[in-house]
Amino acid sequence: MDTRVWIDDPNPIFRLGLACCLRQPGFEVVGESTDFVPHPDLDRTDILVFDLGEQSLGWALGRARERRPARLLGLVGGGGPDRELIRGLCTVVVRSELTPTVFVDCLRSLADLYPPVPVPVSLAVPGLSEEELEVLRLLARGEGPREIARGLGFSRRAARGLVTGLVTRLGARSPAQAVARALREGVI
């Protein structure tokens, strides 16, 4: 399985150069960004490569604590944050020392330490109906079977059956878990 890499850097030419280095077996660039805007695909990423400046430090440390994505590779220039501050939470490479070989070797080392995690099956694959999506939205708002039945014009029994079917279909153990998965996947 390919290691999924997300590249976040303010310099478009640098981002393109990093992406070009990864055009080889074993890697897949799943996305690019410039400012750590939350994106659903970040959660499907094995390694995040990012510009480690003062603005991104707090964000990166939060992601590292959550293990989302599993591994972080921070790139610092001369004036970046202290390496000791983030040691153990992310791998740090100084930009001036970064060559294509160093970059790829560093990513391979991270991938070897922590093999890629399988991507969860997208909720869009089962083809949820508009009615099922509405049930998920109502559940996300904290509505119970009575409110769902009223909102969709069903009996309470039919609403409970629809919720139970959704939970089973999504491979969840509870309505709350089904909602969490739908939110994580960006479906609702």
Highest mean pLDDT among 13-22, 35-44, 136-145, 150-159: 13-22
Query: Would the pLDDT of 135 be above 80?
Result: yes
User: What pLDDT score was predicted for residue 61?
Assistant: 57
Q: Taking 60 as the threshold, does the pLDDT of residue 126 lie above it?
A: no
pLDDT tens digits, 2-48: 888 888 888 889 889 999 999 999 999 988 887 665 565 666 778 88
pLDDT of residue 81: 47
Task: Give the pLDDT confidence score for residue 21 in this predicted structure.
Answer: 93
Average pLDDT estimate for 129-140: 85
In the chain, what are the domains?
A: 3-113 (3.40.50.2300), 130-185 (1.10.10.10)
Query: Residue 148: how many CB atoms within 10 A of its CB?
Result: 23
Give the per-residue pLDDT at 115.
63
Region at 2 (left for phi over 0; alpha for psi -120 to 50; beta for the rest): beta
pLDDT for the residue 18: 92
- The residues, ordered by sequence, that sit 6+ positions from 62 with a Cβ below 8 Å of its Cβ are none
Give 48-102 pLDDT, tens digit per residue: 888 776 556 566 656 655 555 557 777 766 544 445 445 555 677 777 888 899 8
Tokens linked to 15: 């981002």
Alpha-carbon distance values, 4 to 92, 100, 103 (Å): 19, 17, 15
